[in-house]
Structure 1
Amino acid sequence: MASFLLAGKVVPFTEDELGMRGLFSKLSTLCLGDDALVAARQMAVSRQTPDHLGATIVEGGVHFSIYSRAADGVDLCLFDPAEPSEETGRVRMTRDDDDVWHAFVPGLTAGAIYGYRARGPWSPTQGKWFNPHKLLLDPYAKALLGEPIWQETYHNVTEKSVRDFHDSGPGALKSVVISDEFDWEGDALPAVPWQDTVIYELHVKGMTMQHPDVPPDKRGTYAGLADPAIITYLKSIGVTSVQLLPVHQHLDDGFLLAKDLTNYWGYNTIGFFAPHSEYAATRDPQAQVAEFKTMVRDLHKAGIEVILDVVYNHTAEGDENGPMLFLRGLDNASYYLLNNENKVVNYTGCGNTLNVASPAALRLVMDSLRYWVQEMHVDGFRFDLGATMGRRGEIFDIGCSFFQGLAQDPVLRRVKMIAEPWDLGPNGYQVGGFPKPWHELNGRFRDNVRCFWKGDEGRMADFAKRLCGSQDIYGPGGRPPSASVNFLTSHDGFTLRDLWSYNNKHNEANGEENRDGDSHNNGWNCGIEGDTRDAITLSLRRRLARSCLATLFLSQGVPFLTMGDERWRTQRGNNNGYCQDNPISWMDWATNRESTRMLEFVKQLARFRQLHPVLRRAKFFDGRVNPYTGRPDIAWLCREGLTMSREVWHAAETRFIAAVLDSSQGTKRDKAAPILLLFNSSPEDIDFPMPEGAWTLVFDTSREPCFPRESDTSKTYEESFASASRSVACLVLKLT
C-alpha cells in the first residue's frame, strides 16, 4: 500500500492502482475537482532507481532518491513554482534495501520545486530529531530557491529538546529540479602543471562589486567574474588558477542578521551541489547554474583554472540549538559525528562536524566532488579545515576511507586537491601530514616568513627551509616542493598592507567587541598603529610588503596570492572580515601611486618567476655540483660572502643570507645564468662582497620602482652590493 497527500488529504492506493489510469479513476471517485485531477495525473510511484541520489530527470518525469537509515518514512513535497509557499502535493516514498527512499513523478521537468519531510522518533537523547513539521532540503539539490525568514521559519524555541510543531514549509528554502544540459563549446581543462601554478584567492562578489568597467548588473556575480576586464586583469598579474571562496549555497547566520550583518565568506554550507544563488545575475535557478558554467567555460578559454574552496567539515545546522535544515532531520547519526551523549561533536568551531568516516556522509562528499568536476568542470578544490576530512572520531588517519577513496577515484584523482591541514580537534595541526598526492596550505611558510621579515631572532634556518620548498615537511613523505602551497595572507587574517600597519586586530565592526579573530599575527605596525602620514613609516611598510612578495615568488612551491594584496588593499585592521559584505572586504580598484607601483611589482615578479625554471623546480635542491657549470644547484653565503657555517645558520643574530641558484638544467648546451638572491631582514644596510663575476640587478625591494629602467640594466656589480635593510635583491650573472 502506498499513498500521497493531495489538497490536504492522504490518498492511499494499491500496487494495482499505480498505473495512471487506475490512479486517475480513484481520484475521480473522490471528487477532488479538476485541478486536483490534473495534479493527480502527474504523481505516481515507480520502481525506477537511478544509480545516484537527488532529483534525476528521466524519460517521462523526475525520479527522486534520498538516503535515511533511521527514518520510518519520508514524504516528497511538491510546491507551486508560481507560488513556492503553496504545497501542491505530497508523495509517500518507498524504501529499498540500501535505505534509499524513492519516488517517481511523471510529467515533472526542470524547474519543479520540492522538499522532504521525514517521519520517525523524536528522541534527542538518542540523537534522533525526526519532525515532519519541518520541510527539509535535498542534500543533493542542484539549486535552491527562496530567502528564509529566520523568525518565522527557523525560529528558536525555548527548549530545543521539545519538538517544535511550527510548520516551516511555507517560508523554508526549497530544492529545485535542474537539467544538466549546457553547451560547453568544447571546453577543455587548462591542466596547469603544479610547478607552473600561481593561485589567486578571491571572493566572487567582492572581486567585482567596485570595478568601474564591469557593467553594474553584472557586478558581484559569476557573470561579472567572467567579464573580459577581470579576465584580462588576472592574466596580467600571472594568475593561472583562481581559488573561489565558498560558492556552495550557504545560509546567513541568524545572529548576524540580527545585527544587520551577513555571512559574507560563506563558510556555512546548506547545498553541496548548488551554486550560491546570490552570486548570480539572474533569479531563475536553472539560469543560475548555467551562469556558473559559463563563468568556468570563459575562464578556461583564457587558460585560467577554477578551484573551489569547499566546506565539507560542517554544515549550517550548527549544534543542537541550530535550525533544522536537512541532514539533522533526515538522519542525524548517519551524517554527523556524535559523542557518547549523542550530541554533535564540534571539531570545527562551527557547531558540528560532518562524519566523513560514515558511509552516508562519505557518499555525499564524494558525489558532490564528482558533480563539480564532471558537470561544472571545475579544476580542483581547497578543503576548509581539511584535517576533519581525515578523521575517524578523534583520530586523524591518512589511511581513512576518504583519502583512500580519492586516491583511487578515476574522476577526482586527476584534479587539484589542496588541504587547509588543520582543524580544532585533537591533534588537529597536520601540516605535512596529508598523503600523496595532496597539496597543502603551508601555515609554517606564512609564520616563518612573517617572523623573519619582522626581524625576530633565530629565524634564518627556518626561513631558508621555506624558501627551498619545505623539504623538512614534505620530503619525508616523498612529496615534491609543489606540495607546499606558499601563502603570506589569505581571506582569514590581515591583508598584506595591514600586516605591516597594525600590531593589534581592530574588529569592532563585527559586533563582537573585538573578541573574534586571531590575536597572534606575527605582524608589525612599523612604529605607528594604523593610518599615518609619516613618510618614513609608510615607505618601510611598502618595503616589507614587497620583500614578502618577493620571497613568495622566489620560493619553491606554489605561490598563493590573496585578492587585493597586489593593489595595496586595506581592511583598516579588521583581520576577520567574514561578516563584512561591504567595501571593507571588497576589492578596491582605486588607482593611486602606491597601488600602481605595487601592482607593477607583482606583475614583474610573476613574469620573472615564469621565465626561470629554477624557481619552479620539480625536485628539491640537493647541493650536488653540476658537471657542466661547476656550481652546486644552490649555495648559501653569509654577509661576509663566505659559505654559511652551522654556527651562523643558528645564531640568534643572523638576519642576512645570500643564495646562488644554478639556473642551468644540467646539459652542456644550457647556458642559463645563475641567480643571486640577497635577503636582509636586519635593521641595517649590509655591504655584501659579490661572488666572482659581473652581476646585473633584476630588482631591489628597497627601491621604488624596484625593477630598474632599461637604461640602468647595463650596470654591473663586481666588488660589492649594498643590501638595504629589510630588503630582497635579485641579481643575475652576466655571461661572457
Structure 2
Amino acid sequence: MFETAAGEPYPLGATPDEDGTNFAVSVGQDAEKVVLCLIDDQGEETCLELTEHSGNTWHVHVAGVGHGQMYGYRVHGPWDPAAGLRFNAAKILIDPYAKAITGDFNWGQHQFSYDFENNDEIDTTDSLGHTMLGIVIDDSFDWGEDERPGIPFNETVIYETHVKGMTQLHPDVPEEQRGTYAGLAHPKVIEHLTRLGVTAVELMPVHQFTNDSYLQDKGLSNYWGYNTLGYFAPQNTYSSGGDHGQQVAEFKQMVKDLHAAGLEVILDVVYNHTSEGNHMGPTLSFRGLDNKSYYHLVEGDERHYMDYTGTGNSLNLSNPMVLQMVMDSLRYWVEEMHVDGFRFDLATTLTRTEGEQGPDMMSGFFQVVRQDPVLRQVKLIAEPWDVGWAGYQVGNFPGLWSEWNGKYRDSVRDFWRGEPGTLAEFATRITGSADLYEDDNRTPRASVNFVTAHDGFTLRDLVSYNEKHNEANGEDNNDGESHNRSWNCGEEGPTEDPAVNRLRSQQQRNFLTTLMMSQGVPMICHGDELGRTQRGNNNVYCQDNELSWVHWDEADEDLIDFTSSVIRMRRDHPVFRRRQFFDGRPMSRENPDELPDIVWLEPDATPKDETDWESYHARSIAAFLNGHRLPPSTRPDGQDTDHDFYVLFNAYWEPVEYTLPGEPFPGSWELVVDTAQASTDVATFSAGDKVTVPNRGIVILQSADR
C-alpha cells in the first residue's frame, strides 16, 4: 500500500519531490468522488481515493512514487449529457497537466462513455488497458549555457516544418532517429537550415495528440497533429528513446541544439479544440473531468458543442480554469522547455465567449497574455480565423501579435498567375499591408507573409496543378480547398515539356523572391526550397507516408542555392526588412534631390499615376527602395543606411522593357537577382539604360554606391 498525505493544490499535475509525488487535478463542481489510479508495468492499477480538495482542485501526496510512474484518474459523478454532465468512472482520464504521456489508444467501446447500441445510455466498459496514461517525470536537464537567439522580429525568417516529415527520408540521419526530435536536431539537418539562412523553425503540433478512429478505420492517421490531448506533454511518437519521459529530455536537447546553431523554436499550438470531438466523441480527459467548463456548449442544448473549429468542439477560454490551463501550458513551454514563441491555430476561437457572440479582441485571454511578464517577451503569431461567425479576423489582433496574412498569400498568388486588376493590392501586400496593421500602431512585423504553408499546395504543386488531387484521402476529392489560386503553367501535373518545366521553375523563383523582398516576416514551408511535391494533394493531414514526407534524394540543388541567395539578400539589406512602414509620400517638387523612402515607377521610368493603380491590364511595375531613409536600428551594431534597390516586376506573358531613371536616382546599378536566369552574375547598368525583364520575371538591381 502507498502512504498518502493531504498534498497541495498547486502546482497542478504530478510534481515529484524527494519523498514522493504530489498529484493535483481540477474537476467539475458536480463531481462526487475523485480517484487517483497508479498503474504498474503489468497494467495493474492501485486506486487511491482523494479526500482533500481546495475548491474544485483535488490533491494528494503519495510517498515513494517518482519518475516513470504511470497514472490517470477516475471521476465519479452524474451522467446527464442533456445537462452537460458526462462523468463516467469506468473511463481512465488523462491528467490535463501530464508532462509526458505513454501508450496509444486501442479504439473501441472502451473509450466512449455512451453505449454504441443506445447512445442515451452510459457505457461501463473499463478503459484500462485500452487508453493512454500520464507519466510522472523528473524535469531536471542540463541546459548548460543555452541562450535564446533573440532574433528581432523584423530579422526573422520562419521555416515551417513537421518533426517527422522533415527527416523520415533523410539519408544522413540514422534510421532510428528519423522522424524524431533527435532527427530534427541532427547536424546534417541543422546544416541545411543554416545554409538556407532561416532564423526560426516553426514546428507543426508537438503537443501530445491522438490518431482518431475514423482515420484509422480507413488505414490513415492524423499526420499533422491538430488533435491535441495533452498541452504539457511532447508528442511521444517523435521520441527516438522511448515514451516514459524520454520524449521530454529529447525535446529539450533538440531545442538546445537548435539554439546553439542560432535557430529559434516556435511551436504551432492548438488551444482551440481537443481530440475528444463532438458529442459522439470519446471520453479521454477533459470531457470526463469537467465537460461544462472545458467546452463551449450549445446554450439550452448542453448535450451538443459549439463548433467554431470544424472539429466538433471548441475550448472555452472564457472559463477561468481553462484560461489558467492554457496560460500555465504556455509558460511551461517557455520557461521549462525554452521555446521562443507560438503560432496559435484558429486563434479567433480563443477570443470567443459564451453563446453565439462574435469574436472579442479584448477577451480575457488577450488581456492576460498582455500582462504576463513571460509571454509578452516571446513571439506570438495568430492564425487569424476560424469557421465560426465573423471568424476571418486578419488585421484585427492586438498590438503584441503578429498574424498569418492570408491576404498576402492570395494577392501574391493572383498577381503571378496573371489575374487582372491585382497590381494595387500586390503593391500593398509586399510593402507590409499597412492597410491592415498601421491604424492601430502596429508595424510591418505584424504581417507574417507566406505563399504556401502546410495547409494547401506545396510551392512546386502551386505552379504544377490547377486542381486539387486528394483522392488518396478517401473522401472522393471533396476535402481540401478547391479555390487555390494556382496555375499549372500549361499542363496538369508532371510533364516532359521543357518549356513548361522552365516556366514552373521560374515561377517558384518569382514567389521566393517576392517573399524575401516583402516587408513583414517571411515564412517558407519545408521542402519548398528543394522542389517538394505532394502530387497535387493539398490536404495531406492524414497522409503519414511518402506523399507528405520530404524527399531529400529528389532535392533541386539549384533551387536550394537560389532560395539561400534571396534569404541572404534579405539578411544583408535592412531595406527589405524595415521596422516601420513606408511613409508613402510623393516625390517633393520643392526638394527634387530628396527621394522618398519608396517610389513606384512605370516601365518608362515615369512616376506611377495614382489613378492607374486599378487598371485591369496593369501587370508590370518598378519599385525604388531608398536605402538612405531607413528607421533607426534597434541595436548598436545595426545598419541605419543601405544600398538603394530598384525592383522590376513583370507578371505579363511577354517581355517588358524598362528604362532606368535618371537623377536624382542613382546613376549606376548592379544586377543581383534575375528570376528568369536564376543567376546572380554581376552585370552593371547606368541611368537611362534599357533593361528587358522577361515574361513573368523579376529583376532586382542594387545601387553601385551605398
Q: TM-score range by the shorter chain?
A: over 0.9
Partner residue of 1:410 out of 367, 373, 392: 373
Q: 1:59 to 1:666 in 2, by over 3 A?
A: closer
CA–CA separation in structure 1 for the residues paired with 2:15 and 2:488: 56
User: Residue 298 of structure 2: SS of its match in structure 1?
Assistant: coil
Could you state the TM-score of these two structures normalised by the residue count of structure 2? 0.95
Q: How far apart in 2 are the matches of 1:325 and 1:645?
A: 62
Q: Equivalent of 1:359, from 314, 317, 320? A: 320
The reply on whether 1:288 has 2:251 as its aligned counterpart is no
The residue aligned with 1:383 is 344
Match of 2:597 in 1: 633
Q: 1:588 aligns with which of 551, 554, 574?
A: 551
Identity of aligned residues (%): 49
Q: 2:96 aligns with which of 106, 119, 139?
A: 139
| Displacement after TM superposition at 1:735 (Å) | 3.0
- 2:85 matched to 1:125? no
* Preserved CA contact (<8 Å) 1:49 1:102: yes
Given the alignment, which residue of 697, 707, 711 partners 2:680?
A: 707
2:689 match: 719
Partner of 2:565: 604
User: Which position in structure 2 is the counterpart of 1:431?
Assistant: 394
Instruction: Say whether residues 1:419 and 2:379 are aligned partners.
Output: no
The answer on 1:694 being equivalent to 2:668 is yes
Matches within 5 A, 1:230-629: 230-340=189-299, 341-342=301-302, 343-393=304-354, 394-591=357-554, 595-623=556-584
For 1:671 and 1:191, the matched residues in 2 are separated by: 23
- Aligned-partner residue type, residue 643 of structure 1: P
User: Which moves more between the two structures, 283-292 or 462-471?
Assistant: 283-292
Deviation for aligned residue 1:544: 1.2
Deviation at 1:671, TM superposition (A): 7.0
User: Following the alignment from structure 1 to structure 2, what is the Cα–Cα distance between the partners of residues 495 and 675?
Assistant: 30
Residue 583 of structure 1 aligns with an amino acid whose one-letter code is: E
Pick from 41, 44, 48 the counterpart of residue 86 of structure 1: 44
Q: Do the aligned partners of 1:135 and 1:169 also contact (CA within 8 Å) in 2?
A: yes
Unaligned runs of 5+ in 2: 633-638
Structure 2 partner of 1:10: none
Secondary structure of 1:395's aligned partner = coil
Match of 1:673 in 2: 643
SS in 2 for 1:735: coil
RMSD: 1.8
Are residues 1:167 and 2:137 paired? no
Cα contact 1:223–1:280 (8 A) shared by 2:
yes
Find the counterpart in structure 1 of residue 23 from structure 2.
64
Q: Following the alignment from structure 1 to structure 2, what is the Cα–Cα distance between the partners of residues 666 and 441?
A: 25
Instruction: Compute the displacement of 1:588 (Å).
Output: 1.4
Which residue in 2 is equivalent to 1:96? 53
- The Cα offsets for residues 43-70 of structure 1, whole Å up to 9 and x where unpaired, read as 3232x31532111113411111111123
Q: Which 10-residue stretch deviates more, 241-250 or 63-72?
A: 63-72
For residues 165 and 297 of structure 1, the distance between their equivalents in structure 2, rounded to whole angstroms, comes to 46
Deviation at 1:215, TM superposition (A): 1.0
Equivalent pair of 2:200/2:263 in contact (CA under 8 Å): yes
Distance 2:685 2:420 in 1: 35
Aligned length: 686
Q: Residue 699 of structure 1 aligns to which amino acid in structure 2?
A: V
Cα pair distance change 1:590/1:715, threshold 3 Å = farther
1:640 deviation in Å? 2.4
After superposition, the C-alpha distances for 1:105-164 in whole angstroms (9 at most, x for unaligned) are 111111111100111111000000011001100000011111211026326713333100
State whether residues 263 and 579 of structure 1, in contact with CA within 8 Å, keep that contact through their aligned partners in structure 2: yes
1-structure distance, mates of 2:455, 2:177: 26
Provide the secondary structure at the position in 2 that maps to 1:590: helix
Tell me what 1:19 maps to: none
- Between the aligned partners of 2:631 and 2:8, the Cα distance in structure 1 is 60
SS at match of 1:461: helix
What is the Cα deviation at residue 95 of structure 1? 4.6
Letter in 2 for 1:697: L
* TM-superposition CA deviations, 1:275-309 (whole Å, max 9, x none): 00100001142221100000001101111000000
* Shift, 1:670, TM fit: 7.5
Distance of 1:206 and 1:734 partners within structure 2? 43
In structure 1, the partner of 2:636 is none
2:635: which partner in 1? Answer: none
Measured in 2, the distance between the counterparts of 1:66 and 1:179 equals: 19
Q: State the 1:573 CA deviation.
A: 0.2
1:285 aligned counterpart, secondary structure: coil
Q: Distance in 1 between matches of 2:446 and 2:467?
A: 32
CA contact (8 A) 2:101 2:243 kept: no
Q: CA deviation at 1:431?
A: 0.3
Residues 45 and 93, structure 1, Cα contact 8 Å, conserved in 2 = no
The yes-or-no answer on 1:229 pairing with 2:188 is: yes
SS of residue matched to 2:305: coil
* Structure 2 residue identity aligned to 1:556: Q
- 1:13 corresponds to which residue? none
Note if 1:183 corresponds to 2:142.
Answer: yes
Q: Which amino acid in the other structure matches residue 636 of structure 1? A: W
Assess if the C-alpha contact under 8 Å between 2:22 and 2:60 holds in 1.
yes
- Match for 2:73 among 108, 116, 128? 116
Are residues 326 and 583 of structure 1, via their aligned partners in 2, closer, same or farther at CA, if it must alter by over 3 Å?
A: same
Question: In the aligned structure 1, how far is the partner of 2:342 from the partner of 2:70?
Answer: 29
Q: CA deviation at 1:606?
A: 0.6
Distance change in 2, residues 1:282/1:405 (3 Å): same
Q: How far apart are residue 557 of structure 1 and its match?
A: 0.3
Q: For each residue in 1:334-381, what CA deviation from the matched residue of structure 2 results, as whole angstroms up to 9, or x when unmatched?
A: 100001201211110001000011111111111110111111010000
Q: Rg: which structure is higher? A: 1
Contact 2:575 2:630 in 1 (8 A): no
Q: Which residue of 2 aligns with 1:658?
A: 622
CA distance in 2, matches of 1:304, 1:233: 12
Distance 2:703 2:259 in 1: 38
Secondary structure, counterpart of 1:699 in structure 2: strand
Matched, 1:730 2:700: yes
Separation in structure 2 between the aligned mates of residue 274 and residue 735 of structure 1, nearest angstrom: 54
Shift in Å, 1:600: 0.7
Displacement, 1:96? Answer: 3.0
User: Aligned to 2:613, what secondary structure does the other structure show?
Assistant: helix
Measure how far apart 1:672 and its partner are: 3.8
**SS of the residue 2:432 aligns to:** coil
Specify the SS of the correspondent of 2:552.
coil
Cα displacement (A) at 1:585: 0.7
One-letter code of the match for 1:620?
Answer: F
In 2: Cα distance, 1:75 partner to 1:265 partner = 34
Conserved? CA contact 2:580–2:631, under 8 Å? no
SS in 2 for 1:489: coil
Distance 1:673 1:359 in 2: 52
Helix, strand or coil at the partner of 2:670: strand
Structure 2: how far apart are the matches of 1:159 and 1:562?
Answer: 46
Aligned-pair distance for 1:591?
A: 4.4
